[in-house]
Amino acid sequence: MNWFVLPLTVALIGCGDGAEPAQTERRESPELSATPSATPSAPAATATPTPPIATAPSAPVPPEDAPGGAGDEEAARVRSSLVIDGEGITPRRVTVPAFLSLELSVRNASPQEQVVFVAGAQPSRAVSVGPGETRRLALDGLRPGSYRIDAGPGRRGGTLVARGERPPG
C-alpha cells in the first residue's frame, strides 16, 4: 500500500490551483551535511550588484520641435504683383492691408533693366529687375497710408495704399 500512497501524494503535491507557486524551504538532512572543519573558512565572496545607471527618460518630441510645429510658420504676408514696361507700372494702384508684411512681385516687360522703389517704406527697399525677369520685393508691414511706387525717371509710377486700423495694444 505504501507504494500506492507515495506516487499519489507526489502527484497531489505537484498539482496546485496555479495562483501562486508554493515556497519551499530547503533543508539538508544531517547525513548529507558536511562536517565542520576546525579552521574557519573565509566568507564566500558575494558579487555586489552594480547599481543601475540612471538615464533620462526619452521625452516625447514637443509639438514645437516637430515638423510643422511652432517656429515653422511664416509671418502673415500679403502678395501682390506689378508689371513694369517702357511706359511705367501696371496696375497703377495696389491696395494691401496695413501692418502685414508685403511681398511685391515685379515683372519687367521692357527690354532694359528697371529699378522699382517704394518711397516711404521703412526700411527703404528697392529691387532691380532685368529684362524679362521677375523679382520680389519684401516689405515690412506698412502703416496706413499711401506710398509712391517709383518706376524711374520718365515712367509712370504707381501708388501702394495700406488700409486698416492700428491693432490694439
pLDDT tens, position by position, 22-81: 554 455 444 444 444 444 554 544 556 666 665 555 666 666 666 666 655 666 789 999
> Is 13's pLDDT higher than 60?
no
The CA distance from 155 to 150, in Å, is 8
For residue 26 the three cell numbers come to 530547503
Average pLDDT, the chain: 75
User: What's the pLDDT score for residue 148?
Assistant: 94
The residues facing 136 across adjacent strands are 105
pTM of the model: 0.54
The CA distance from 85 to 152, in Å, is 11
Residues 144, 150, 156, CA angle at the centre, nearest 5°? 115
> Is 115's pLDDT higher than 70?
yes
User: What's the pLDDT score for residue 154?
Assistant: 84
Topology classification of domain 77-163: Immunoglobulin-like (2.60.40)
User: What's the pLDDT score for residue 30?
Assistant: 47
Q: What sections of the chain are H helices per DSSP?
A: 2-14
- With a pLDDT cut of 70, the percent of the chain lying above it is 53
